[in-house]
Chain A
């Protein structure tokens, strides 16, 4: 029972590079979400997706791009990484409507030098 997985778990990159964080869930959940977690801010929603090929912006979408060609995958791309994007990134999914309980992946710790 893999649930929801993220890769890589740790990533160090340089300013200006493109980085893609992967998220995969085995439950066939409709909704998927990307959050970032920074000290003092809690988790903030970057993007979410209600179904394959349907994505929408969250609270802090600038500098990020998402796609969802398959229900089980929801990659997050930083097109040109900046130091301010150093953070812990969590992917989550839920089976029902967006207000249902969310299940989180283990997180990706990204450092941008």
Chain B
């Protein structure tokens, strides 16, 4: 079993849609959590950190459920520019990346 698991998708949604990604992790000792965004053939870039209380950044909302070892990312009012692969990242002593969920937003 992989340490960080994500649904690979692809998710194909129309502009303006709301889309949610889920991620589960296996190591209960994990300390910090992130969502990274990776565009095709580019490097990953931090989208947002994920806090136990949940956090929001504009159209993006991230939530963490430590009891269920589950992280989520919600994107509201999807834009064409949101098309990318979203990586769930879990950190205990080092960063462990999920394989990513691919999102395509269509006009």
Alpha-carbon distance between A102 and B95 when the two chains are bound, in angstroms: 9
* Residue from B49, B97, B99 in contact with A40 in the complex, judged by beta carbons closer than 8 Å: B99
Query: Interface with B: A41-49, A63-71, A72-80, which one?
Result: A41-49
B34 contacts A by Cβ under 8 Å = yes
B44 within 8 A of A: yes
User: What is the number of contacts between chain A and chain B, taking CB atoms within 8 Å?
Assistant: 46
- B4 nearest CB across to chain A (Å): 7
* 26-63 of chain A: CB within 8 A of chain B: 33, 35, 40-45, 48, 58-59
Q: Report the separation of the CA atoms of residues A87 and B16 in the bound assembly, to the nearest whole angstrom.
A: 35
Residues of B within 8 A of A98 (CB): 91, 93-95
How far is A48 from B96 in the complex, measured between Cα atoms in Å?
Answer: 13
Interface residues of B (CB under 8 A from A): 4, 8, 31-32, 34, 42-46, 49, 87, 91, 93-100
Q: Which residues of A contact B (CB under 8 A)?
A: 33, 35, 40-45, 48, 58-59, 90, 98-99, 101-107
